């Protein structure tokens, strides 16, 4: 049970940091955000976290979203490779969203995603004890709105379509960890060269984060997340549309540090 909880914390930290850096990363939780904010958006992140001698995490995750404005749609691809002491998880998948544009300032999007998860459990502590060492599909559904500087959405994420290894039957199995996610943030244009964006995400990846961006080139963020985790970071835009970022955090729950390094490609609408 101890490692079961630690695995959940790992996933939460990964999502907290990604979303804190760029709001487009929230498409990993809500597929309606796929290509909803940026014309093109790519993100690759490496992270590590040593919880204790029995629980260490290393992982790489990435996504690429593309907005096909001519058909009011967005498509995306994502992957995640997570390594723990007791297990490896590899996730690959895709997402799609459709946008209803009611005016220049108000848009509504609906989306869905499907991910395939491969598991390799080497120990007795696994994420799903009743479906250990079984690959499965994850389905997510979501909707989102954008009105001026306001962005908000709700999603029902990680609906597990678990395959029984002894038959061809696929079972609908809701995710154990708060599958309903809600996100809200607002971009305040403080000046021509400064945007301040507070955001809140509730659900399995709950956190509060404050992000500032200066001259469309330098950004910073500070936040508070699930199970008393604090994180701070920043980054810089290089080579026009590429961004380099770094975040460091501490879990007040067990006084452990974690690090995230990222490279992003961002082309606005």
pLDDT one-digit tens code per residue, 155-195: 987 677 665 444 444 444 444 445 788 999 999 999 999 99
**pLDDT at residue 159, as a whole number:** 75
**pLDDT at residue 137, as a whole number:** 84
Mean pLDDT of the chain: 78
Using one digit for the tens of pLDDT, what is the confidence trace for 26-53?
Answer: 788 899 999 998 888 888 888 877 666 6
**pLDDT at residue 93, as a whole number:** 94
Using one digit for the tens of pLDDT, what is the confidence trace for 188-199?
Answer: 999 999 999 999
The bridge status of strand 207-214 relative to strand 180-186 is unpaired
CATH number of the domain to which 219 belongs: 2.40.160.40
Q: What is the DSSP letter of 31?
A: G
Using one digit for the tens of pLDDT, what is the confidence trace for 241-255?
Answer: 888 888 888 878 777
Using one digit for the tens of pLDDT, what is the confidence trace for 109-151?
Answer: 999 999 998 877 665 444 444 445 567 788 899 999 999 999 9
Q: How many domains does the chain have?
A: 1
State percent of the chain over pLDDT 70: 73
Domain span at residue 198?
2-268
Contacts of 24 (CB under 8 A, 6+ apart): 33, 36, 37, 38, 41, 43, 65, 266
Higher pLDDT, 61 or 86: 61
- What is each CA distance from 37 to 9, 22, 119, 235, 244, in whole angstroms? 28, 10, 32, 19, 19
d(CA 250, CA 232): 9
Higher pLDDT, 104 or 99: 99
d(CA 4, CA 6): 6
């Amino acid at each position: 049970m101890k490692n079961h909880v630690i695995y959940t914390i790992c996933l939460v930290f990964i999502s907290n940091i990604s979303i804190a850096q760029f709001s487009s990363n929230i498409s990993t939780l809500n597929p309606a955000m796929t290509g909803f904010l940026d014309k093109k958006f790519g993100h690759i992140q490496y992270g590590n976290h040593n919880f204790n001698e029995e629980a260490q995490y290393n992982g790489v995750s990435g996504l690429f979203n593309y907005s096909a404005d001519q058909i009011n749609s967005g498509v995306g691809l994502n992957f995640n490779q997570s390594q723990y002491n007791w297990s490896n998880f590899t996730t690959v998948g895709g997402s799609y969203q459709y946008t209803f544009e009611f005016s220049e300032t108000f848009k509504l999007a609906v989306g869905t995603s499907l991910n395939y998860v491969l598991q390799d459990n080497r120990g007795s502590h696994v994420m799903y004890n009743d479906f250990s060492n079984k690959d499965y599909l994850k389905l997510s559904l979501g909707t989102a709105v954008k009105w001026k500087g306001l962005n908000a959405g709700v999603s029902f994420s990680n609906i597990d379509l678990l395959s029984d290894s002894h038959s061809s039957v696929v079972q609908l199995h809701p995710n154990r960890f708060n599958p309903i996610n809600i996100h809200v943030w607002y971009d305040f244009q403080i000046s021509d060269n400064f945007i301040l964006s507070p955001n809140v995400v509730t659900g399995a990846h709950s956190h509060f984060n404050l992000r500032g961006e200066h001259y469309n080139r330098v950004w910073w963020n500070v936040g508070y997340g699930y199970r008393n985790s604090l994180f701070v970071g920043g980054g810089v835009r290089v080579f026009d549309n590429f961004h380099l970022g770094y975040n460091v955090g501490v879990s007040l729950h067990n006084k452990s540090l974690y690090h995230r390094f990222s490279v992003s490609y961002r082309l606005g609408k």
